[in-house]
Amino acid sequence: MELEQERIIGFYDQGDKGPLLIILGGMHGNEPAGVLALEEIFRMLEREPETNPDFNFKGRFIGLRGNLAAIKDNKRFIVKDLNRQFTPENVQRIFNATDDSQLDSEDK
């Protein structure tokens, strides 16, 4: 799915067991620094084993773009600002949604 490809900035795993680290950039579409930083981190991680043969990464690292619609439009948000939206009630409402038509851009 194209949307999923847009959301995933990068994935890094050298195969050694360890923690899963998930980092979101672009929660506000007009703040590109987080997405740009994640893109650079993944470029650096790919080069690191070549420049530092002793480099050993344990675990998995995933970088994701947060608010795709707002990023595309270079706007802070489309329907609602994500600040203070991560309440138990909102998370439960989104989790219980039966299809995407019940969700706005920021919910997705």
Q: Per-residue pLDDT tens for 29-40?
A: 999 999 999 999
Confidence of residue 3 (pLDDT cuts 50, 70, 90): low
Confidence of residue 1 (pLDDT cuts 50, 70, 90): very low
Q: Average of pLDDT values for 78-103? A: 89
Closest CA to 69 of 21, 97, 19, 103: 103
Residue 86 falls inside a structural domain: no
Share of the chain above pLDDT 70, in %: 95
Total number of domains in the chain: 1
Can you give the residue range of the structural domain that contains 71? 2-77
Q: Average of pLDDT values for 5-27? A: 94
pLDDT on residue 83: 82
Q: Average of pLDDT values for 17-22? A: 97
CA distances from 20 to 16, 29, 76, 81, 104 (A): 11, 25, 28, 27, 28
Residue 108 falls inside a structural domain: no
Residue 83 falls inside a structural domain: no
Residue 37 falls inside a structural domain: yes
Residue 94 falls inside a structural domain: no
